[in-house]
């Protein structure tokens, strides 16, 4: 028999925390005159209930051969007290024996769970009091939510049933009831209510209701002295059931006659839903539902009323589910008994529930309450003057109403065409499946509502400094929505929501936001320059003008991201198909794919409940779980993880600690999201010395234990406070100015802010006073608001690309093309003519040949004039811009220079940066209002100066080979080094959406960040997500559905390419993972070989993620691994070792034998089909080539001219070797790529496109090569392979 778990290991509790039997006290029924009144319910309704028996797990220990008696306590009237505080407990009386049961011990020995107050529990179980009835009543249930002082909630389900007093077998503590209470035979015909209350840590409302229904079928026919035993067996059964982990696996318990289903949470972030979410929609019209949600979002004093105690909790819980992932932060008491009505006088926000009989009393006694009558579907206020509930935003409300109206909420309509089910459990399963689908639809609708309301909050966040610019956010709201947002922004609920956004939590809200955002919103999120309404958005706004003309849309936070905006044909037919919908693509319910669910049937539990029976039950659980796991395909890791989790829990209960740890450790390879870190830590700490020694000898557990024990105990909690943006009140040096500008949301790029600082401090001490900052900030916001108000006619919009934005409009000026306003977009200048508004194109920035600022004579005046000469036109454009001339001259020249650099370097970020410079110039001139303002603004002419002072032409070979550049660090304050690149081809996989099947480029940045690009358009497919926190060294694709990433922290992270999530980790390495290589096989699963810096090489089954073999190379410094000719080639720094896949040494190339004069090491190597080994060595600017036939022969050399460092090397098209590193170009150190012909062994090309070293290279189907640069630049260049 396995050794029992140590006493101090707190095992995870099952579904049940406590079970209690409650009823009327004996003494209250004494006296024949009380019973003789057949209709005397009124006189008896004032009876107060008490706890009769309490059952608390554990009910049996392994050492017991008989059922444990410690968990059952029979309480008399003198023992009605709270068990929450010991000092309140009077000395307990010895319990009286029960026929057929053990003697109860001192109630002090019973551990009452936190949050369960036995003094208050009777009132909640009988909220209307105990009513002795003259005739039997139907059994009924209601539901409780119990909260402890720390805010932790437990949940109760109460079933009430009636027993006749005249039953000769009714006993109170072993005595006949009329003996115990002094009642005579005249009590015949009276029925006494009892209640059974089950308390759980989980809100299993429907499941526990079904369980109690099964229990009542036994209690109503059993003798009174048998009641406790039945309840105890029932409680013991529930206490043995483990709670299912988040995911698709539900548990089934046979309670006879019903099969009870205990559902799991959809994911670790989601709430557990075991109730019918459409109940409020059956009672309230959609408009009323929105009003209630508004009351909750604005944290009012809310009281629900109903004549049904059950509906109070269920409806309140439904609204809590509607708010997810927002969470109600205040008092939540969905049931108030008649003795608790004074709770509604609380000064803080709350949500409570009362019986409808108390409606008038509550409404008169308290002011400022929102009174919600569930039965009538109505909402009233207790005092209209004190209650201010705003309307929910109009567009969100209309969309919600239409979606709710499209729901099918009547199960009978789905059953109309079906035959009647003759199997009770089959019918229940059908109903449950229908309810689950409906619940999912309702959750999607309410989540879409929240996304529609709060989607644009992210545009006003600064993640680096955790700042929310509430003032600017409110400016973007429609006037009719202002009051709603002002109240919501001050709530605790919204503050917690902001914390989650600033922590970039990928919860349900974030996922829905990504899923429903439009293409335009996605592109907006990738723009470097400040956002303005696109032509498409402008056309949409015009087409829906009657509906939303009052909306003033001002989006003020520029997101400095560099993704090229596609340039579309000028006449865009898509403008004729405008979506007026801002909150999703349709008013109907989103067609979300239904998720598969699985069930696991809990083995039968045999009674009497002695130690052997419990052990047999645990053994049956382990056996059935193991059998289910053996029948699973390795690809079904999601379900496999749930089996591992459950088997680990059961093994803990068995005392099999090492087996439990092995199962929990397997979660790393199946689904690390459900890994119970705290439980594993407690388990490791409770291991006995022999168990600990055995665990240390087990490779799978050694890493797990080291992680748990080496974890720092006092980790400082990260500062998660949310700051509201405020204008500075003190003078600012450069560093403080950078922070303030980033917080304001104007610019994030530190380099641009440095230039802005120089502009604002020209001729002054190098600090900025608060007044100057305020003037600059206001000018920026005013210009932003003006651009938002631009309203172009359709005839003009048709001439522009749909993604163009008007960033600047001049005042009305005279030009040689007519009178009008000059407009600047990111692509062109055009004249918006006056009178009948028309479009006259001036020039695209690419077509400009010269820009001059001059003056022309008009009478006695010299009028400042801007002249623009185009390449394709002889006519020069002239505009009498007067006082605006110098500013427009600076802006146009900067945009022209930015466009030229973008074309030369194939990098659209130059245009985005130039646009930001131009807009900052405008704000600087407006803020300074001085003769030197133009000179100050010229400090931002960065690209214009670069073009004039350093006319460094891109080498012709580079220009012809370079196709495009992208920036994975877009939106960051500083560039990030590209540590690794991986190209994965597209696959038409049924599991993927069409857009997900495109080829992808995976970019590994520092600190475990990965950005994914759509390689068909080079736009961001997945914004940055984390895989650990360390440097990522290598990436490889396995089995078309997995990307393996080797990290400096010795973990291999596995990313699912369909879900774009990282839920699996391989933790078998003990040192930094430095190389990954895949051996594809035609039929069998692929084998992945991984190596780490300590010389360990592991072979993995890519399907099962099991290690199939392992071996150790001598020495440290293993930095790379390749597969060639069926053998593994391993670079260890001092040598290149050739081994078989089983680890047997075949050949070795030692660097010391070839480089005796200088100490060096191998930096990297490649193998080519011509049986050659190409390698680079530290400190050398040559590539060395060995023949694989004889590695002892001296190598050939290929000299790389002007090369100072080699970082990486790849083979392309069999005939080419591309080498990346650092070299000199035009006298400067830059990132350089050498393209070598493998046959001729000559350098064919030298490519220069990075300002920092080339850190990594990867090939895209031998058609393109992608190069990633160091942290000074942080960009990726895309090269065409010839």
pLDDT score, position 446: 97
Secondary structure class of 1151 (helix, strand, coil): helix
**DSSP collapsed to 3 states, 830-849:** EEEECCCCEEEEEEEHHHEE
Q: Which of 107, 193, 112 is nearest to 154 (CA)?
A: 112
Q: How far is the C-alpha of 161 from the C-alpha of 1196, rounded, in Å?
A: 94
User: In the structure encoding, which two tokens stand for residue 317, read together?
Assistant: 């819980």
Q: Which residues contact 358 (CB under 8 A, 6 or more apart)?
A: 305, 338, 341
Contact yes or no for 494/571 (Cβ under 8 A): no
Q: How far is the C-alpha of 75 from the C-alpha of 334, rounded, in Å?
A: 27
Buried b (16+ CB within 10 A) or exposed e, 10-49: eeebbbbbbbbbbbbbbebbeeeebbeeeebeeebeebeb
Q: How far is the C-alpha of 141 from the C-alpha of 1273, rounded, in Å?
A: 66
H-type alpha helices, 631-748: 637-654, 657-670, 677-685, 689-696, 699-709, 734-744
* R_g over Cα of the chain: 37
Q: How far is the C-alpha of 137 from the C-alpha of 116, rounded, in Å?
A: 28
Q: How far is the C-alpha of 559 from the C-alpha of 493, rounded, in Å?
A: 26
User: In the structure encoding, which two tokens stand for residue 1247, read together?
Assistant: 């490519």
Q: How far is the C-alpha of 319 from the C-alpha of 1258, rounded, in Å?
A: 51
First-to-last C-alpha distance (Å) of the chain: 70
The H or E element spanning position 904 is helix 885-905
Secondary structure class of 1076 (helix, strand, coil): strand
pLDDT score, position 174: 40
User: In the structure encoding, which two tokens stand for residue 965, read together?
Assistant: 């550049």
Q: How far is the C-alpha of 1251 from the C-alpha of 1271, rounded, in Å?
A: 10
Place of tokens 């006659």: 257
- Whole-Å CA distances, 965 to 792, 1266, 1269, 1275: 33, 9, 11, 7
Contact yes or no for 168/176 (Cβ under 8 A): yes
Looking at residue 816, the DSSP 8-state letter turns out to be B
pLDDT score, position 388: 80
User: In the structure encoding, which two tokens stand for residue 1125, read together?
Assistant: 């000719």
> Which of left, alpha, beta for 690 (phi over 0: left; psi -120 to 50: alpha)?
alpha
Q: How far is the C-alpha of 583 from the C-alpha of 103, rounded, in Å?
A: 64
Secondary structure class of 18 (helix, strand, coil): strand
Place of tokens 């109630």: 107
Q: How far is the C-alpha of 129 from the C-alpha of 47, rounded, in Å?
A: 6
Secondary structure class of 515 (helix, strand, coil): helix
Q: What is the mean pLDDT of each run of 10 residues along the chain (1282 residues)?
A: 51 85 76 44 62 86 46 38 34 34 41 78 90 85 90 93 66 41 49 92 95 91 85 91 93 92 92 95 96 96 96 97 94 92 91 94 88 95 77 94 93 84 86 93 96 93 90 91 94 94 90 81 60 82 53 33 37 34 51 76 84 89 94 87 95 92 93 92 90 88 82 64 91 93 90 93 88 94 88 90 91 91 94 87 94 82 90 90 93 94 90 94 92 92 85 83 90 88 77 68 91 86 82 91 92 89 90 92 82 93 90 87 91 88 88 70 85 87 88 88 91 90 83 92 91 93 93 93 88
Beta strands in 697-798 (DSSP E): 723-724
The H or E element spanning position 500 is helix 492-502
pLDDT score, position 712: 61
Find how far residue 214's CA is from the centre of its chain: 40
pLDDT score, position 187: 46
pLDDT score, position 211: 95
Q: Which of 981, 147, 1042, 1210 is nearest to 669 (CA)?
A: 1042
pLDDT score, position 33: 39
pLDDT score, position 1217: 93
Strand pairing class (1073-1079; 191-200): unpaired
**Phi, psi (rounded to 5 degrees) for 461:** -110, 145
Contact yes or no for 73/118 (Cβ under 8 A): no
Place of tokens 């600690």: 657
Looking at residue 248, the DSSP 8-state letter turns out to be S
């Amino acid at each position: 028999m396995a050794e029992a778990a140590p006493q101090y290991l707190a095992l995870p509790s099952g579904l049940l925390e406590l079970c209690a039997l409650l009823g009327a006290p004996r003494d209250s029924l004494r006296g024949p005159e009380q019973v003789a009144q057949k209709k005397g319910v009124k006189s008896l309704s004032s009876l107060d209930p008490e706890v009769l028996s309490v059952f608390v797990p554990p009910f049996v220990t392994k050492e017991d051969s008989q059922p444990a008696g410690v968990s059952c306590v029979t309480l008399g009237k003198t023992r009605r007290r709270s068990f929450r505080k010991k000092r309140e407990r009077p000395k307990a009386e010895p319990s009286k024996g029960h026929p057929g049961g053990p003697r109860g011990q001192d109630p002090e020995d019973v551990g009452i769970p936190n949050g369960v107050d036995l003094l208050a529990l009777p009132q909640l179980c009988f909220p209307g009091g105990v009513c002795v009835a003259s005739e039997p009543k139907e059994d009924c249930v209601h539901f409780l939510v119990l909260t402890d002082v720390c805010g932790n909630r437990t949940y109760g389900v109460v079933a009430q049933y009636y027993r006749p007093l005249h039953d000769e077998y009714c006993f109170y503590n072993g005595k006949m009831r009329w003996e115990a209470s002094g009642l005579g035979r005249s009590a015949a015909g009276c029925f006494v209510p009892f209640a059974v209350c089950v308390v759980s840590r989980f809100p299993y409302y429907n499941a526990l209701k079904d369980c109690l229904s099964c229990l009542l079928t036994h209690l109503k026919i059993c003798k009174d002295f048998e009641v406790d035993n039945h309840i105890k067996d029932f409680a013991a059964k529930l206490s043995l059931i483990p709670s299912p982990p988040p995911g698709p696996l539900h548990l089934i318990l046979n309670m006879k006659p019903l099969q009870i289903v205990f559902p799991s949470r959809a994911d670790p972030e989601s709430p557990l839903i075991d109730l019918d979410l459409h109940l409020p929609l059956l009672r309230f019209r959609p408009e009323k539902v929105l009003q209630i949600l508004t009351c909750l979002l604005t944290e009012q004093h809310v009281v629900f009323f109903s004549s049904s105690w059950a509906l109070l909790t269920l409806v309140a819980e439904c609204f809590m589910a509607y708010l997810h992932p927002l969470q109600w932060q205040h008092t939540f008491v969905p049931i108030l008994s008649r003795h608790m009505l004074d709770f509604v006088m609380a000064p803080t926000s709350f949500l409570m529930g009362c019986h409808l009989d108390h409606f008038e009393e509550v409404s008169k006694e308290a002011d400022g309450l929102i009174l919600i009558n569930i039965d009538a579907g109505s909402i009233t206020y207790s005092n209209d003057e004190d209650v201010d509930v705003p309307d929910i935003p109009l567009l969100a409300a209309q969309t919600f109403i239409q979606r709710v109206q499209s729901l099918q909420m009547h199960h009978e309509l789905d059953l109309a065409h079906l035959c009647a089910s003759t199997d009770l459990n089959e019918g229940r399963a059908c109903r449950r499946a229908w309810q689950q689908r409906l619940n999912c639809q309702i959750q999607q609708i309410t989540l879409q509502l929240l996304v529609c309301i709060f989607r644009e909050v992210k545009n006003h966040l600064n993640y680096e400094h955790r700042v929310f610019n509430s003032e600017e956010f409110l400016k973007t709201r429609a006037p009719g929505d202002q009051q709603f947002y002002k109240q919501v922004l001050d709530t605790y609920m919204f503050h917690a929501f902001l914390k989650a956004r600033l922590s970039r939590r990928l919860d349900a809200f974030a996922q829905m936001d990504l899923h429903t955002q439009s293409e335009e919103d996605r592109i907006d999120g990738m723009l470097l320059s400040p956002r303005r309404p696109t032509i498409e958005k402008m056309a949409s706004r015009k087409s829906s003008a009657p509906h939303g003309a009052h909306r003033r849309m001002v989006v003020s936070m520029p997101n400095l991201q560099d993704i090229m905006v596609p340039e579309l044909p000028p006449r865009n037919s898509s403008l004729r198909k405008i979506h007026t919908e801002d909150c999703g693509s349709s008013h109907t319910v989103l067609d979300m794919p239904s998720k598969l669910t699985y069930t696991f049937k809990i083995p039968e539990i045999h009674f009497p409940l002695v130690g052997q029976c419990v052990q047999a039950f645990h053994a049956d659980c382990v056996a059935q779980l193991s059998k289910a796991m053996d029948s699973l395909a390795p690809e079904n890791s999601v379900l496999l993880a749930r089996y591992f989790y459950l088997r680990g829990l059961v093994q803990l209960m068995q005392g099999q600690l090492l087996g439990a740890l092995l199962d929990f450790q397997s979660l790393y390879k199946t689904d690390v999201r459900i890994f119970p870190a705290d439980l594993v830590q407690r388990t490791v700490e409770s291991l006995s010395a022999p168990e600990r020694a055995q665990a240390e000898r087990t490779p799978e557990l050694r890493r797990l234990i080291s992680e748990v024990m080496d974890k720092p105990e006092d980790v400082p909690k990260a500062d998660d406070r949310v700051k509201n943006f405020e204008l500075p009140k003190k003078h600012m040096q450069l560093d403080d100015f950078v922070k303030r500008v980033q917080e304001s949301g104007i610019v994030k790029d530190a380099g641009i802010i440095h230039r802005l600082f120089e502009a604002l401090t020209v001729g002054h001490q190098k600090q900025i006073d608060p007044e100057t900052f305020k003037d600059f900030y206001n000018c920026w916001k005013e210009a932003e608001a003006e651009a938002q108000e631009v309203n172009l006619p359709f005839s003009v919009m048709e001439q522009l690309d749909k993604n163009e934005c008007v960033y600047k409009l001049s005042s009305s000026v005279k030009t040689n093309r007519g009178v009008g306003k000059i407009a600047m977009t990111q692509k062109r200048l055009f004249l918006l003519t006056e009178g009948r508004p028309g479009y006259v194109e001036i020039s695209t920035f690419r077509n400009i040949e010269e820009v001059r600022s001059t003056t022309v004579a008009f009478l006695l005046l010299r009028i400042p004039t801007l002249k623009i000469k185009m390449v394709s036109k002889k006519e020069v454009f002239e505009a009498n811009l007067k006082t605006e001339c110098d500013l427009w001259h600076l802006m146009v020249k900067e945009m022209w220079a930015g466009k030229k650099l973008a074309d030369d370097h194939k990098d659209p970020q130059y245009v985005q940066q130039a646009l930001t410079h131009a807009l900052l110039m405008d704000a600087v001139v407006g803020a300074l209002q001085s003769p030197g303002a133009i000179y100050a603004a010229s400090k931002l002419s960065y690209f214009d100066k670069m073009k004039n002072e350093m006319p460094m032409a891109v080498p012709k070979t580079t220009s012809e080979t370079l196709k495009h550049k992208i920036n994975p660090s877009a939106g960051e304050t500083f560039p990030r080094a590209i540590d690794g690149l991986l190209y994965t081809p597209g696959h038409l996989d049924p599991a993927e959406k069409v857009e997900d099947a495109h080829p992808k480029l995976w970019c590994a940045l520092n600190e475990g960040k990965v950005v994914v690009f759509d390689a068909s358009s080079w736009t961001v497919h997945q914004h940055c997500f984390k895989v650990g926190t360390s440097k990522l060294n290598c990436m490889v694709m396995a089995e078309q559905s997995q990307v393996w990433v080797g990290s400096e922290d010795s973990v291999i992270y596995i990313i699912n390419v369909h879900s774009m999530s990282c839920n699996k980790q391989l933790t078998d390495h003990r040192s930094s993972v430095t190389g990954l290589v895949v051996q594809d096989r035609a039929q069998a699963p692929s084998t992945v070989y991984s190596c780490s810096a300590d010389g360990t090489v592991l072979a993995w089954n890519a399907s099962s993620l099991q290690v199939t073999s392992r071996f150790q190379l001598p020495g440290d410094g293993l930095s790379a691994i390749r597969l060639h000719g069926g053998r593994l080639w391993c670079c260890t720094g001092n040598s290149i070792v050739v081994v078989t896949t089983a680890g047997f040494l075949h050949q070795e190339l030692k660097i010391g034998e070839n480089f005796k004069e200088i100490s060096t090491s191998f930096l990297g190597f490649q193998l080519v089909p011509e049986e050659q080994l190409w390698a680079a060595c530290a400190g050398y600017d040559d590539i060395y080539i060995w023949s694989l036939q004889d590695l002892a022969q001296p190598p050939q050399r290929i000299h790389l001219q002007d090369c100072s460092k080699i970082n990486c090397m790849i083979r392309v098209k069999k005939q080419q070797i591309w080498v990346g590193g650092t070299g000199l170009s035009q006298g400067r150190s830059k990132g350089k790529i050498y393209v070598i012909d493998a046959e001729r062994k000559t350098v064919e090309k030298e490519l220069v496109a990075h300002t920092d070293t080339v850190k990594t290279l990867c090939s895209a189907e031998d058609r393109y090569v992608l190069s990633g640069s160091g942290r000074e630049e942080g960009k990726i260049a895309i090269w065409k392979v010839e």
